[in-house]
Amino acid sequence: MENKMENGGSPVIEIRPDGTMVKTSGPAAPQLGVQYETPRPAAPKTKQKKEKLPKEKRKLALAWILILLGLTYAVAAAALSFFLVMEAWPTTGIIGADIALLLSFGAFALYAAMRQRDAISSMRKMLFLCFLMLVALVPMAFTMKLNIGVMTFMLSVLLLAIMANEKVAILTAIPVSVTAAVTARALGDMTAAPIALTLAIIIACMTAVLALSMNKTRGATVIASLAAGVAAAVSYVAVMIAFDEELASYWLTPICLLGSCILSGLLAVGLMPVCESVFSIASDARLNELLNNNNPLLKRLMTEAPGTYQHSLLVANLAESAAEAIGANALLCRVAACYHDVGKLNNPQCFKENQSPDRNIHDELDPYTSAKLIIAHQQDGVNLLEKAKLPRDIIRIVGEHHGDSVMVYFYDKAKKQAPEGAVIDEAAFRYPSHKPTTKESAISMLADCCEAAVRSMKNPTIEEITDKVRDVIMHKWDKRDSMLWDSPLSFSDIKKIEASFIKTFAALHHERIKYPDLKGVDVR
């Protein structure tokens, strides 16, 4: 048996026994790639099961941080102890060296856990840090046997500064310098070499990080390693001169320091793509590559969903400026904003910015089906980005940019269409995701909402834009079950973001002079 619904000149819908809806007359049914569902105006209220929070979204427990750093220390200490045993050092000397290394690791772990938690907030970031610590420490004793200037510490410092955190990169100088000093002394060097080496490592690390803080491109990495090598060599020579050491006794060491740093820079450039792939780290170099319009997903957005592409560019401008205002990762915000709506590629005509002015397919659908199609774009975007192997930081922002908010428009439409006294299932109109957990995710959510709200206004003034931006942000901040509660944004950050949005919108919606009718103007 087939039921039919007719409404004057509107399309005729056939409801089949299996629950699917097929349009039999009227305008051609939109190709959405999904089946329509039977309207459910009086669906019982049920609690929607929220998906389990992915591991990369969880904050890594302090216990796990200490365990992983403890294991890293154990491996490094074992390698150092083995080297000292081979050099016939006394047992008390080996114990003292291990205690010194333990204290340096303790200082590193304490500062990282208390002040740089974002750099070690997930298991993959922590494993990346531990891996580079071992790269810096384990080979040192054996390479220094060739010459005390032959070391691999700069490779780890460069990769950490580019792909993780600059302050954490500088901190690696503590355990590295301790290991280098002990190893140099174990090699029988009775001169000032251990002191000179310790100072050279600290100065080299600071120089490399300072150079990379200005520019984190692949070419800048080699330049930073060269600057670090020069600084290390000069500082080593300066200390040796201060202790009145003969040049003939150490002339090869500063050359080896310079060569080791330059070689580390070249290796860092080559290993960067490997680390990005294995640990899914979003380095600045990788993020800049993703902004290229030749990227397949961006190219598809431009051609298949041009309205969404333009919307994403505007959101990117808003998010980048706001991130700069509060000290968040501006480049990550811009890239994530460019990709935040790639899930709309599955059904671009479901979204207003891609529709023709005279037709909205949601006029032909019930609010439950419309909501299902719109909500799907968030998870579709995550799936597309995972398939394209984009960094996890970008995927997290895309997966959180609507939080677990309710689609108010279709929820209100369902309430108006429902019979009197019917219970509307709010869960059917709620995104099955999680509130933003980082500053970048929260900024992307606010930028997306504000851009959509301002774009819906016709010829707004700056005062109207200001009021609208404040209303949207305060709705996300003040309402019951706030969307920003899980993010680290402070109220001061919110006010700075608001001011940045208003400034950006003012630049986008500036007044233009009225051009004369060119038909009456004699121009050549």
Residue 171 domain-assigned (yes or no): yes
The tally of domains found in the chain comes to 2
* One domain, residues 265 and 299: no
* One domain, residues 213 and 320: no
Residue 515 domain-assigned (yes or no): no
Residue with tokens 């390698």: 79
Which has the higher per-residue pLDDT, 23 or 226? 226
Residue 320 domain-assigned (yes or no): yes
Q: How many CB atoms lie within 10 A of CB 163?
A: 24
* One domain, residues 229 and 356: no
List of residues 6+ apart from 431 with CB closer than 8 A:
375, 378, 402, 403, 404, 405, 406, 407
User: What per-residue confidence (pLDDT) applies to 17?
Assistant: 40
Residue 513 domain-assigned (yes or no): no
* One domain, residues 402 and 469: yes
Residue with tokens 């599955």: 346
Residue 44 domain-assigned (yes or no): no
CATH code for position 338: 1.10.3210
Choose the most confident range, by mean pLDDT, from 7-11, 81-85, 282-286: 81-85
* One domain, residues 107 and 139: yes
User: What per-residue confidence (pLDDT) applies to 190?
Assistant: 63
Residue 8 sits at the vertex; the CA angle it makes with 6 and 9, to the nearest 5 degrees, is 100
55-68 average pLDDT score: 70
* One domain, residues 424 and 290: yes
* One domain, residues 268 and 294: no
* One domain, residues 88 and 174: yes
* One domain, residues 409 and 331: yes
Q: What share of the chain is helix, strand, coil (3-state, %, to 5)?
A: 65, 0, 30
CA distance 242 to 168: 31
Would you place residue 165 in the very low, low, confident or very high pLDDT band (cuts 50, 70, 90)? confident
Residue 464 domain-assigned (yes or no): yes
Q: Which of 280, 307, 340 is the last residue of a domain?
A: 280
| 354-357: long-range contacts, CB 8 A cutoff, minimum separation 24 | 354/305, 354/306, 354/307, 354/308, 355/307
Residue 32 domain-assigned (yes or no): no
Q: Which of 254, 280, 306 is the last residue of a domain?
A: 280
Which has the higher per-residue pLDDT, 139 or 33? 139
300-328 average pLDDT score: 94
Which has the higher per-residue pLDDT, 43 or 499? 499
Choose the most confident range, by mean pLDDT, from 42-51, 140-149, 339-348: 339-348
Q: Hey, which residues does 13 pair with through a beta bridge?
A: 5, 23
User: What per-residue confidence (pLDDT) applies to 121?
Assistant: 76
Q: Hey, which residues does 21 pair with through a beta bridge?
A: 15
For the ranges 359-368, 391-400, 488-497, the lowest mean pLDDT is seen at 359-368
User: What's the chain's average pLDDT?
Assistant: 83
* One domain, residues 114 and 148: yes
Question: 261: closest CA among 214, 208, 195?
Answer: 208
User: What per-residue confidence (pLDDT) applies to 513?
Assistant: 62
Q: Are 148 and 189 in contact (CB under 8 A)?
A: yes
User: What per-residue confidence (pLDDT) applies to 207?
Assistant: 95
Question: 72: closest CA among 132, 116, 142, 121?
Answer: 132
331-356 average pLDDT score: 91
For the ranges 12-26, 101-115, 218-232, 449-463, the lowest mean pLDDT is seen at 12-26
* One domain, residues 141 and 256: yes
pTM surpassing 0.95? no
User: What per-residue confidence (pLDDT) applies to 426?
Assistant: 85
Q: At what angle do helices 491-508 and 306-326 cross, to 10 degrees?
A: 130
The residue range of the domain holding 161 is: 56-280
CA distance 184 to 105: 19
Residue 260 domain-assigned (yes or no): yes
* One domain, residues 158 and 183: yes
User: What per-residue confidence (pLDDT) applies to 520?
Assistant: 63
User: What per-residue confidence (pLDDT) applies to 65?
Assistant: 84
Q: Which of 247, 280, 313 is the last residue of a domain?
A: 280
